[in-house]
Structure 1
Amino acid sequence: MGFLRLVIKTLRLATMRLGIGWMFALVTFNFNRVAIADLGAIAVIVTSLIGMHHFISFFQVYWGRFADRYPIFGYRRTPYIFISGVGASLIFLFLPYIAVGLGSRDLVATVEAFLLMAVFGVFMAMNGSASNSLVAEVTTPKERGGVVAVIWAAIIISGIVSAGVSRVIMPEYSHEAMRQLYNLTPIIAVVTILLGAVGMERRITKEEHAALLAAQPQESVSPLGTFRVARQLMGTNTHVRAFFFFVLLAIMGIFLQDAILEPFGAQVFGKTQAETAAYQQAWGAGALLGMFSIGVISSIFPISKKFIASLGGLGIAAALATIAFSSITYQPGLVYPALLVMGVGIGFFNVGALSMMMEMTIEGQTGLYMGIWGMAQGLGNGFANVFSGGLVTAMIGTGLFSPTLGYSLIFGFEAIVMVVAIGILRNVSVQEFKGLTKQDIGTVLAMDTAS
Structure 2
Amino acid sequence: MLPAEVLTSSSVRLGLRLGLFQLSFGILGVLILGLFNRLLIEDLRVPAALAALAIGAEQLMGFTRAWFGFRSDLCPVGRLRRTPFILLGSLSCSVLFGSAGWVVLQLARAMDSPQQSASVGWLGLLVLISIGIGTAIAAAGTAFSALVADLSSEQERPRVLSVVWGMRLVGVLLGTVLVNQTFGPACDAGASREAVMEGLQRLIVVTPPILFVLGLASVLGLEHPVKADDRGRKPSVDQPKRLALPQLLGRLRTIPQAGRFMTLLCLLTFSMFFNDAVLEPYGAAVFGMSVCATTSLNALIALGFLVGLGLSGFQLIERIGTIRTARGGALLAAAALSLMLLAAPGQTLGLLRIAITLFGVSLGICINACLTLMFSFVEPGRTGFLLGVWGVGFAYSCGLATISGGGVLSLLQMFSGGNIEAAYSGVFLLQILCFLAAALMTRRLNVAGFRSTVQSRFASMVKALD
Normalising to structure 1: TM-score of the pair? 0.91
CA, structure 1 residues 138+95, in 2 after alignment: closer, same or farther (shift >3 Å)? same
Alignment check: 8 A CA contact 2:101 2:200 kept: yes
SS at match of 2:92: helix
Return 55-64 or 412-421, whichever deviates more: 412-421
CA contact (8 A) 2:94 2:208 kept: yes
Q: Which residue of 1 aligns with 2:127?
A: 114
Q: 1:249-398 residue pairs with structure 2 within 5 A?
A: 249-298=267-316, 301-327=318-344, 330-396=347-413
Matched with 2:82 is 77
1:128-207 aligned within 5 A:
128-170=141-183, 171=187, 172=191, 174-206=196-228
Shift of 1:110: 1.6
Q: Is the 8 A contact 1:279 1:339 kept in 2?
A: yes
Given residue 175 of structure 1, which amino acid in structure 2 is its aligned partner? M
Q: Retained in 2: the 8 A contact 1:96–1:182?
A: yes
* 1:44 alignment partner, SS class: helix
Deviation (angstroms), 1:46: 1.1
Letter matched to residue 110 of structure 1: L
Greater CA drift, 290-299 or 263-272? 290-299
After superposition, the Cα gap between the structure-2 partners of 1:208 and 1:407, relative to the gap in structure 1 and judged at 3 Å, is same
The aligned residue for residue 449 of structure 1 is none
The 2-side partners of 1:175 and 1:90 are apart by 19
Q: How big is the alpha-carbon RMSD for the aligned residues of Structure 1 and Structure 2?
A: 2.3
The offset of 1:351, in angstroms, is 2.0
| Within-5 A mapping of 1:93-112 | 93-103=98-108, 104=111, 106-112=119-125
The residue identity in structure 2 corresponding to 1:125 is: A
C-alpha distance 197-72 of structure 1, shift in aligned 2 (>3 A): farther
How much has 1:368 moved relative to structure 2?
A: 0.9
Residues 96 and 296 (structure 1), Cα distance of their counterparts in 2 relative to 1, 3 Å cut: same
Q: Structure 2 CA distance, aligned partners of 1:110 and 1:229?
A: 38
The AA in structure 1 aligned to 2:409 is: V
Whole-angstrom distance in 2 between the partners of 1:291 and 1:212:
33
162-171 or 397-406: which moved more? 397-406
> 1:347 & 1:267 partners in 2: Cα distance?
27
Alignment-derived partner of residue 242 in structure 2: 218
Using the TM superposition, give the Cα deviation of residue 398 of structure 1 relative to its aligned residue in structure 2, in angstroms. Answer: 6.7
Q: Is the 8 A contact 1:316 1:345 kept in 2?
A: yes
Secondary structure in 1 matching 2:155:
helix
Distance across 1 between alignment mates of 2:231 and 2:209: 34
- Please tell me whether the aligned partners of residues 19 and 163 of structure 2 are also in contact (alpha carbons under 8 angstroms): yes
**Stretch deviating more after TM superposition (89-98 or 78-87):** 89-98
Structure 1 position 353, deviation (Å): 1.4
Give the C-alpha shift of residue 274 in structure 1. Answer: 1.6
Give the aligned partner of residue 52 of structure 2: 47
Q: Deviation of residue 282 (structure 1)?
A: 1.1
State the shift of 1:231 in Å.
Answer: 5.2
Which of 439, 449, 454 in structure 2 is aligned with 1:422?
A: 439
C-alpha change, 1:253 and 1:340, in structure 2 (3 Å) is same
The 1:421–1:71 alpha-carbon spacing in structure 2 relative to 1, beyond 3 Å, is farther
Using a 3 Å threshold, how does the CA distance of structure 1 residues 329 and 407 change in structure 2: closer, same or farther?
farther
Residue 322 of structure 1: how far off its partner (Å): 2.1
Distance 2:88 2:170 in 1: 23
Per-residue CA deviations over 1:298-325 (Å, capped at 9, x if unaligned) read 58x5431222222112111211122233
CA contact (8 A) 1:167 1:277 kept: no
Conserved 8 A contact 2:82-2:143 = yes
Greater shift in the superposed pair: 195-204 or 112-121: 195-204
- Determine helix, strand or coil for the equivalent of 2:320: coil
Aligned to 1:28: 33
1:233 aligns with 2:252: yes
Contact map agreement 1:145 1:298 (CA 8 A) in 2:
no
List per-residue Cα deviations over 1:229-286 (Å, max 9, x = no partner): 335523x112211111212111111111111111111111111112111211111111
Distance, in Å, in 2 between the alignment partners of 1:5 and 1:357 is 22
Task: Check conservation: 2:15, 2:163, Cα contact below 8 A.
Answer: yes
Q: 1:242 to 1:359 in 2, by over 3 A?
A: same
Does the 8 A contact of 2:74 with 2:240 survive in 1? no
Instruction: Evaluate the alpha carbon distance shift between residue 317 and residue 188 of structure 1 in structure 2; reply closer, same or farther with a 3 A threshold.
Output: same
Shift in CA distance, 393/442, structure 1 to aligned 2, threshold 3 Å: farther
| Count of aligned positions | 438
TM-score normalised according to structure 2 size: 0.88
Q: Which moved more, 1:267-276 or 1:303-312?
A: 303-312
SS at match of 2:139: helix
Shift of 1:58: 1.1
- CA displacement, residues 328-372 of structure 1 (integer Å, 9 cap, x when unaligned): 565444211111111111121122111111011111111111001
The offset of 1:120, in angstroms, is 0.9
> Does structure 2 conserve the Cα–Cα contact (< 8 Å) formed by 1:48 and 1:382?
no
Displacement of 1:440: 3.4
Alpha-carbon deviation of 1:16? 2.4
Q: Structure 2, unaligned stretches of length 5 or more? A: none
Match of 2:457 among 407, 414, 436: 436
- The offset of 1:200, in angstroms, is 1.7
| Residue 64 (structure 1) aligned with residue 64 (structure 2) | no
Distance 1:130 1:175, change over 3 A: same
Give deviations 1:5-56, integer Å, cap 9, x for gaps. 4433221011222111111111111000011101111211111122111121
* 331-340 or 129-138, larger mean C-alpha shift: 331-340
Q: Is the 8 A contact 1:252 1:380 kept in 2?
A: yes
Aligned-partner Cα distance in 2 for 1:336–1:294: 22
Counterparts in 2 of 1:130 and 1:217: CA distance versus 1, 3 Å = closer
How far residue 184 of structure 1 moved from its aligned partner, in angstroms, is 2.6
Q: Where does the alignment leave 5 or more consecutive residues of structure 1 unmatched? A: 447-451
